[in-house]
Amino acid sequence: MPTFSNPVLPGSRPDPSICRVGADYYLVTSAFAYFPGLPVHHSRDLVDWTPLGHVVDRPSQVSLTGLDVSDGLWAATIRHHEGTFYVVVTLARGRRGSTTHLFTASDPAGPWSDPVALDAEGIDPSLFFDDDGRCWFTACRDAAEPEETGPGELWMRELDLHRQELTGPTYALWYGAVRGAWVEAPHLYKRDGVYHLIAAEGGTEHHHAVTAARAESVTGPYTTDPRSPLLTHRHRGAAEPVHNVGHADLVDTPAGETWAVVLGTRPTDGTHTLGREVFLVPVEWTDRGPVFAPETGRVGLSERLPAGVAAPPAPDGRPVRDDFAGPALGPEWTGLRGPTDHLVFPLPGEGGLSIRLSPEPLSSTGTPAFVARPQQHLRMRAAALVRLTAPAPGQEAGLVVFQNERRHATLALTVDGDGTRQAVLTAVDAGISTRLGAVPVTGTEVVLAVDGDEAAYAFHVEDGARSTVGSIERPFFSTERAGGFVGVHLGLYGTSGTGEGEAHVRWFEYVPDRD
């Protein structure tokens, strides 16, 4: 039986939500404080995904300034109804839901509308379009009486599509299947006249799980599916290749099958650096409700192909080199909290990428001169050919392995007080910078590189010959050590205390090793 490899979207792409229009599938994932935000992907087979763009690509839509990397845009839902695409999402501040936004578009590639703020508390909003055309908004929030019901509550109100506002009474739907666990990520589906409420419980780490309830009426009452959790890896051992499974969204295929996108992680020796990724799981409907992964009961690294889908191409292990020849950066590149095109931009005539050094450091909650792409493979190499133009003390530019503003590492070109050019490796932990090594450089353009594997990230300089500057153990960049919700991003940056100076990147190369 032909198979595909999971995850279908590797690297930091958490909280997947999916919808289908005809033969086309559209997927949106969380972006947190990265900008542009809420990446949208497209597929014709559920396996091979192509980036389309972002829902949030204008600073006038949402302000992310001052936010921690793991705050920002959390857990969006994408749906389609009568020619319009809808995305609802929560803006989080201080790890709490702040504002719920509704975006619309006629084309999922954009442009998306300016948002409408909904009168909704909590996080993880979702939309359900019933057979009668009414639209129902669901989300999760703190329960009013946690001692009686448990800490979380899934709730519902009707969404008036014409006025784009919530209307009518609020319905408390369900408090989850696991006593004492906070329930979140609600999605509603209707099958044979029965409403199925799929949710997540147990947090987003090892005890993450998919649970369910059902009702005869859309507003309830909902009865817990006694089989809950319907999908989890909480009971499996450390050798299990996929952990933290949950946050499911379902989609029906033209062939009549149902599949779920879920998030999961791939830890090594108890820690993961790639973040939460998108996995694809078959679903079978029975009289009792949905059965996830009916043949195995688990999310595997290999799964059968959806019906009617030809075998996808083998994973491409060739280097991916970006020469920055286009007028703008590709959709895989993002910055932090706002647009960076005035700081980091391609040079169509000269070629390469220009970085205007900014006084905003990577350790701030502003918008530094920084662009990055998610690390997608445990074993990989990232390299860039960098020139620091007319360097002066206090100026630096180069390569960055970025976990968050409090934990990252840079391999940068700079000069010391007597004008000696060097490449310096610096690690930042809890806002404290530690210089781990330096090598002198003589060339005007130098290759800065990092090799990652199960053990460490090793940093190198190629300046006529290859020199190793130092290495940092891989768990330093893990979510388990750093906290938060994001995976490692690999990128380019430039900073200067005075805001003066410029760097040039001729190319950036990402070399995957098929894990």
Active site residues: 15, 184
Place of tokens 């003589």: 442
- Within 10 angstroms of residue 514's Cβ, the number of other Cβ atoms is 10
Q: What is d(CA 321, CA 319) in angstroms, rounded to the nearest whole number? A: 6
Sheet holding 84-93, edge to edge: 72-81, 84-93, 96-105, 116-118
Q: Which pair of tokens denotes residue 368?
A: 């530094």
Beta carbons within 10 angstroms of residue 291's beta carbon: 17
**DSSP H or E stretch at residue 146:** helix 146-149
Close Cβ partners of 501 (under 8 Å, ≥ 6 residues apart): 356, 357, 388, 389, 390, 391, 392, 395, 397, 494
398-to-11, 372, 374, 393 alpha-carbon distances in Å: 22, 12, 17, 15
Cα distances (angstroms) measured from residue 340 to each of 72, 147, 222, 357: 17, 47, 47, 12
Given a contact cutoff of 8 angstroms between Cβ atoms, the answer to whether 275 and 267 are in contact is no
Q: Which residues contact 121 (CB under 8 A, 6 or more apart)?
A: 97, 100, 139, 141
191, 183, 192: which is closest to 211 by C-alpha?
183
Task: Name the one residue in this structure whose structure tokens are 């409700």.
Answer: 289
Element containing residue 503 per DSSP (H, E) = strand 502-512
3-state secondary structure 47-60: CCCEEEEEEECCCC
